[in-house]
Amino acid sequence: MAQKKTAPAVDTLLVELLTEELPPKALKGLSETFAQALLSNLKQRGLLEEDSKAHAFATPRRLAASITNVLTQGLDKPVESTGPSVKVGLDAEGKPTQALLGFARKQGVEVSQLGRQSTSKGDVFVYRTLARGGYLDTGLESDVQDAVRRLPIPKIMRWADGDAEFVRPVHGLVMMHGKRTVAGSVLGITSSNVTAGHRFMGLSSIRLNDADAYESLLRKNNVIADFAARRAEIDEQLQAAAKRQGASLGDYEELLDEVTALVELPAVYVCGFDRSFLDIPQECLILTMRQHQKYFPLFARDGKLLPKFLVVSNMRVKDPRAIVSGNERVVRPRLDDARFFFDQDRKVRLEERVPQLANVVFHNKLGSQLERVERIQLLAGQITRDLGADAALSERAAWLSKADLLTGMVGEFPELQGIMGRYYAQHDGEPAQVADAVEQHYRPRFAGDLLPENPVAVAVALADKLYSLAGLFGVGQQPTGEKDPYALRRAALGVVRLLVEKKLALPLDKLVGASFGTFPKQAGLGDAHTDLQMFVLERLRGYLRDAGYSANEVESVLSMNPTRLDQVPSQLAAVRAFMDLPEAASLASANKRVANILRQAASKGESFGSADRNALTEKAEIALLDSLNSASSKADALFQRGDYAGYLKAFSVLKPAVDAFFDSVMVMVEQESLRRNRLALLADLREKMNRVADISKLAVEK
């Protein structure tokens, strides 16, 4: 009696790479990619059940993945190979041809073992068999190696005398299926069931008896292996410590992610610094603590910095005084440096630094930072005068806008450009609007950032961005693909936000022309006016889509190439109001039909002017012309008042006349004068209805 085949064993698979300290900003992404790549490889080999799931683990010294319900051997799969047709495989006497014999030989079987199958092209020979499932143990090494190769590692390194390459040296490899250790070698390390606990507070060698025990056993050895769990633990401790101090943490999410990647057993301790350091601008202190020391500054309820900070240690001890004093000792010279720079910088006025910008190159084809400032100043003055604001203040702010680049503080902390300029301008006694503009002209720095507040700052911010865009487009430095080294997409989006959200009545084409006009002819800029306008409109397209407008809505307005971007939201609101009308769908479709007719006529060389009522013959076309003239006379006044919704609604009365026209009138008739008049009527209809938006873009495809 044949022995019944046993089902393959199912258990949890654990793979861990034990390394030296991994780069903290990349840790979370590396661990998630590693787990998903391993899961994908096992799935391709048929070694997973339907409910198998991957769990990523990541600490500063390890990348690991635990995958549930992994088979020791993949299930057998039916395989079907199609051979020649029956007509080709058999001769007139019904004997196998060479084509059929060759197919059978290729499958390693006799012709008698082949089957037949009916297809739409006739019967064919087939060979059906079962492919045995692959074994976990024989391919796991390759699966892990492939997962390692797929990690997004920007820089790799070698260590010792081997040829292995990874983001950091690897010292241990665990590959376990349930209670079994799976043999293999990855990155020059042989697999085992041995891992390591906390570097200082855990065993250096931990033998795993079961893959499922991995996380709990590391917990006993003072390692929280799960990134999310460790992050939540740190966050809870931070919040509790801040609450005990009667303080808040400010914006700390980004630093929380980074610190989570630096510790395996987090412990939060309260530290302090001398109150005299609070005389320094708090942005300097915050940047020093967060960016350089990975500390969490504490804030009072009014947002002012307190002389306290929280440190996340990798050591959980009963008496933390040594840890606290050590961190306080480390931060003091950093804060002393900030105070020194602040004191020294204030000895030289910002205006005295401006001429020195001539020695700093902005771009090798666009000149120095001083030339940049001079051109921004010129453009800011023009913009401010167009807005009816104080041009003298804008020009003064533009003149000082880059002076802080030469200060010691900004040299040490480039992130503080503009921020320190404001403090130094205030110290120099500059007007408040000028000082604010020195800082705010960089806004918006990122998505969702605040915009400049006063008109002076708005003008300088707009001039700064437009100057960079015009100059770099003019020398052929437009962004290509994903590459945007000068952040021109961000600058263009800043222009969009300033014009739209600040409701600036400034035509885009004139702004672009003025921006290029700040460069002398000898600068040798190419004519990139149109390219730059299209580039800004493309950023506007994305901005509007992010704001919730549909592709058709956005296209209906932007296809008109608007120059007043401040009016675009009103136009889109009008489009939405129009589409709520019962006549909207029919009129949109009619407009699309009109657009197609006119386009085809133009391609055939047809020319036409305005419609002549006396030359029209059909009742429906005369009625359409009369209805159009009546509606447009009412709509024109609404358009002039900026009532775009009312303007579009005024044409909703045309639906019956438009429907009747297309039901009974042939446009492309042989009689030339009549054909041209009917085309002219349609052209008038399209022109008058589409001053706010191209209604034909709203037609729904059927």
Strands 180-181 and 170-177, sheet pairing: antiparallel
Radius of gyration of the chain (CA): 36
- Sorted by sequence, the CB contacts under 8 Å of residue 352 that are 6+ apart come out as none
> 139 and 126, same structural domain?
no
What is the model's pLDDT at position 530? 93
- Sorted by sequence, the CB contacts under 8 Å of residue 497 that are 6+ apart come out as 444, 451, 543
Of 195-204, 261-270, 366-375, 691-700, least confident by mean pLDDT is: 691-700
> 685 and 610, same structural domain?
yes
What is the model's pLDDT at position 600? 86
Dist CA 57 CA 28 (whole Å):
9
Task: Determine the longest span between alpha carbons in the chain, in angstroms.
Answer: 109
pLDDT above 70 as % of the chain: 98
Of 110-114, 327-331, 351-355, 367-371, least confident by mean pLDDT is: 110-114
The mean pLDDT value for 144-172 works out to: 90
Dump the DSSP string for 100-162.
HHHHHHHHTS-GGG-EEEEETTEEEEEEEEEEPPPBHHHHHHHHHHHHHHTS--SS-EE-TTS
Beta bridge partners of 19: 170
CATH number of the domain at 483, please.
Answer: 1.10.3210
pLDDT level of residue 316 (50, 70, 90 thresholds): very high
Residue 605 falls inside a structural domain: yes
> 389 and 248, same structural domain?
no
What is the model's pLDDT at position 7? 57
> 262 and 305, same structural domain?
yes
> 193 and 82, same structural domain?
no
The mean pLDDT value for 649-678 works out to: 85
pLDDT level of residue 256 (50, 70, 90 thresholds): very high
Q: Highest-confidence range of 5-9, 186-190, 677-681, by mean pLDDT? A: 186-190
Of 21-30, 300-309, 602-611, least confident by mean pLDDT is: 602-611
Q: Report whether 404 contacts 395 (CB < 8 A).
A: no
What is the model's pLDDT at position 702? 52
pLDDT digits (tens, 9 = 90+) for 545-561: 999 999 999 999 999 99
Domain boundary residue among 162, 194, 220?
Answer: 220
Is the bond leading into 169 cis (omega within 30 degrees of zero)? Answer: no
Decide: residue 102, CB within 10 A, 0-12 exposed, 13-18 middle, 19+ buried: middle
Residue 559 falls inside a structural domain: no
Check pLDDT > 70 for residue 2: no
Check pLDDT > 80 for residue 612: no
> 392 and 288, same structural domain?
no
What is the model's pLDDT at position 129? 80
Check pLDDT > 60 for residue 232: yes
> 544 and 432, same structural domain?
yes
Residue 558 falls inside a structural domain: no
The mean pLDDT value for 392-416 works out to: 96
Tokens representing residue 631 in the block: 């509606």
Check pLDDT > 80 for residue 76: no
> 650 and 573, same structural domain?
yes
Of 12-16, 47-51, 487-491, 511-515, least confident by mean pLDDT is: 47-51
Residue 472 falls inside a structural domain: yes
Please tell me whether residue 569 adopts helix, strand or coil conformation: helix
> 424 and 314, same structural domain?
no
Tokens representing residue 268 in the block: 């939060």
pLDDT level of residue 8 (50, 70, 90 thresholds): low
The mean pLDDT value for 61-67 works out to: 96
Residue 564 falls inside a structural domain: no
Check pLDDT > 60 for residue 1: no
Residue 3 falls inside a structural domain: no
Dump the DSSP string for 21-44.
PPPHHHHHHHHHHHHHHHHHHHHH
- Cα dist from 10 to 28, 54, 70, 71, whole Å: 28, 15, 5, 5
Q: Report whether 148 contacts 34 (CB < 8 A).
A: yes
Check pLDDT > 90 for residue 620: no
Indicate the average pLDDT of the chain. Answer: 91
What is the model's pLDDT at position 594? 86
pLDDT level of residue 701 (50, 70, 90 thresholds): low
Dist CA 201 CA 316 (whole Å):
9
Top-confidence residue, 326 or 586: 326
Residue 364 falls inside a structural domain: yes
- Cα dist from 609 to 618, 624, 677, 684, whole Å: 19, 17, 8, 9
> What domain range includes position 257?
227-345
Domain boundary residue among 88, 111, 131?
Answer: 131
Residue 386: how many CA atoms within 13 Å on its side-chain side?
18
- Helix (H) / strand (E) element for 57: namely strand 54-59
Domain boundary residue among 197, 220, 243?
Answer: 220
- Cα dist from 539 to 127, 531, 546, 568, whole Å: 57, 13, 11, 13
Number of structural domains (the chain) is 5
Residue 5 falls inside a structural domain: no
What is the model's pLDDT at position 338? 94
How many degrees, rounded to 5, is the angle at CA 14 between CA 11 and CA 19? 175
Among left, alpha and beta (phi > 0; psi -120 to 50; other), residue 105 is alpha
CATH number of the domain at 656, please.
Answer: 1.10.730
What is the model's pLDDT at position 663? 87
Tokens representing residue 320 in the block: 């933390």
What is the model's pLDDT at position 685? 87
What is the model's pLDDT at position 223? 96
The mean pLDDT value for 563-576 works out to: 94
> 514 and 388, same structural domain?
yes
> 470 and 362, same structural domain?
yes
pLDDT digits (tens, 9 = 90+) for 470-502: 999 999 999 988 889 999 999 999 999 999 999
How are strands ordered across the β-sheet holding 296-299? 267-272, 305-313, 296-299
The mean pLDDT value for 216-221 works out to: 96
pLDDT level of residue 314 (50, 70, 90 thresholds): very high
> 597 and 583, same structural domain?
yes
